[in-house]
Amino acid sequence: MLKPLRGITVIDLSRALAGPYCTALLADMGARIIKVESVNGGDTARQWPPFQDGHSLYFDSVNRNKVSVCLDFYSEEGRDILSGLIADADVLVENFKPGTLDKMGFTASRLEELNPGLVLGSVTGFGNTGPLKDDAGLDQVIQGMSGLMSVTGPGPGSAYRVGVPIVDITSGMICAFGIVSALLGARNGERPSRVSTSLLETALNLSAFQGQKALSLGEAPTPQGNNHPVISPYGMFATATESINIAVGSDKQWRAFCGLLGIASAVDDPRFVTGADRSANRDQLTELIETALSSKPATEWVPLISQAGIPCGPIYDYTQALASEQVAALGLVQQRQRRDGSPLPLLRGPLSLDGEASEILSPPPLLGEHTAEVLLERGMTHDDVTRLEREGRVVCGPASAQVSETIGAQR
């Protein structure tokens, strides 16, 4: 696969999900990601379940194609090492609580002094200004405060969190987009030194037409269960066996759908003539459709409806989804092995370039796995690394220590 970000070095100070998701996307495109972690356990996600043989699968899910360096951020030696890494990098990514980077000694002026061309990518909870700018923000809190939970659930009066940390994930995507935009800006002299987004800003931008309804009409949208909030029939429908998803998005599809289900008279039924009519009379329409669908199992309906050009599909759990024929055809799951020898199936990144899918070149790193390797690259000696590790200024994982010993012996 082409690597359009080859030659770009990113120092990744981020933790948990939004920042690491951002840097995983950059790594997929060829950037070298040096994940700098604290000696106090590293990325907090390493302590989060689910676990497999002591490895956090939460951490593993978003830390492919990176190297891990483990430092004492607050020691003089640790700051010196980090300063050197930043000075030679193109990008620095962090998602600390506002002010944390300053407390570490890396103020805006210090970063400018170290590396005038550096792009700083930041993800915060609530943005750079306003009464909540200094507050910590987490995905579920922002889901609630952004209105996202208010449109998720079985019906009016309910509020559910989205089943995946959608705000963290999309904030990481937005930050990656901003970083690449900044790097490209050098071509026309418009390269910002700081790119920032927040969970709140990203979450509100996910509102799309629901947010626009609130803005323009002053009406708060409510949950519609598994139905599309404004289009019908578009949602989950029962069959003779399990339920399936069907999305009828146009009048042409509506006519074809009625013919397929044997309810041709519904086309001219005054309750269902237009999209607005079908939405207003959703309950009656659903009853009509599910009565027709009850004649066949889901496994027969899905191909019939899909072949008619109407979006339709089964409802899988994740084990079914990851084992599907389409996922296999796309090569989305790649089998890798951690440095300690343990096997690890991973989802590759979602982008393809010129028909070539992104790939996983290295598994998520063990804590400090590459500390010695990176420090030796920077001109330190084996004795320097050994001393720093003995004094608790760095942590070298087993593989990192092995590299240090090998290089030391060669010297």
Tokens 């043989």, residue located: 53
Q: What count of other Cβ atoms lies within 10 Å of the Cβ of residue 191?
A: 14
- CA-to-CA dists, residue 55 to 50, 66, 347, 370, angstroms: 8, 16, 16, 17
Q: Are 407 and 396 in contact (CB under 8 A)?
A: no
Same domain, 54 and 134: yes
213-to-52, 156, 230, 408 alpha-carbon distances in Å:
45, 16, 11, 65
Q: Within this chain, do residues 17 and 132 fall inside the same structural domain, yes or no?
A: yes
Q: Are 66 and 192 members of one domain?
A: yes
Prediction pTM value: 0.92
Across the chain, which has 411 residues, the per-10-residue mean pLDDT values are 94 97 98 97 96 95 97 93 97 93 93 96 95 92 97 93 97 98 90 94 96 96 92 96 96 96 95 95 96 97 96 97 96 92 94 94 95 95 95 84 48 40
Q: Is residue 211 in a domain?
A: no
Dihedral, CA atoms, 169, 174, 178, 183, nearest 10 degrees? Answer: 50
Q: Are residues 306 and 277 in the same domain?
A: yes
Residue found by looking up tokens 């430092």 in the block: 71
pLDDT of residue 411: 40
Inter-residue contact 368 to 397 (CB < 8 Å)? yes
Residue 151 forms part of a structural domain: yes
Where are the alpha helices (H) located in 33-188, listed in sequence order?
57-60, 76-87, 100-103, 108-114, 139-145, 166-185
Please report the pLDDT score of residue 405 as a whole number: 52
Please check whether residues 145 and 175 belong to one and the same domain: yes
Domain-embedded: residue 281: yes
The residue segments making up the domain with residue 361 are: 9-206+330-369
Domain with 293 in it: what CATH number?
3.30.1540.10
One domain, residues 308 and 335 = no
Mark whether 16 and 119 lie in a shared domain: yes
Q: Is residue 299 domain-shared with residue 179, that is, in the same domain? A: no
Give the position of tokens 């979006």.
311
Residues 32/8, Cβ–Cβ less than 8 Å? yes
- Strand-pair category, 66-71 with 91-94: unpaired
Cα torsion for 310, 316, 322, 324, to the nearest 10°?
-50
Q: Strand, coil or helix: what is 364?
A: coil
pLDDT for the residue 408 = 47
238 to each of 235, 290, 292, how far by Cα in Å? 10, 6, 10
pLDDT at 409: 47
Paired tokens of 408:
């030391």
The tokens 């519904």 sit on which residue? 266
Asked, for residue 169, whether it belongs to a domain, the answer is yes
Domain tally, the chain: 2
Place of tokens 């409806």: 305
Q: What is the CATH number of the domain that holds 128?
A: 3.40.50.10540
Give the burial class of 9: count Cβ atoms within 10 A of its Cβ; 0-12 exposed, 13-18 middle, 19 or more buried.
Answer: middle
H helices within 88-237, ranges in order?
A: 100-103, 108-114, 139-145, 166-185, 199-205, 208-217
> Pairing mode, if any, of strands 91-94 and 119-124?
parallel
Q: Where are the alpha helices (DSSP H) in 232-340?
A: 251-261, 275-280, 282-293, 298-307, 318-322, 325-330
**pLDDT score recorded for residue 402:** 55
Tell me the catalytic residues: 168
SS3 label, residue 20 = helix
Cα–Cα distance, 351 to 357 (Å, whole number):
6
Write out pLDDT tens, residues 367-407. Answer: 999 999 999 999 999 999 999 999 999 999 875 545 545 44
Do 282 and 340 lie in one domain? The reply is no
Q: Which amino acid is at 185?
A: G
Model confidence pLDDT, tens digit, residues 196-247: 999 999 999 999 999 999 999 999 999 999 999 999 999 999 999 999 999 9
| 215 part of a folded domain | no
* Residue 65 sits in the same domain as residue 195: yes
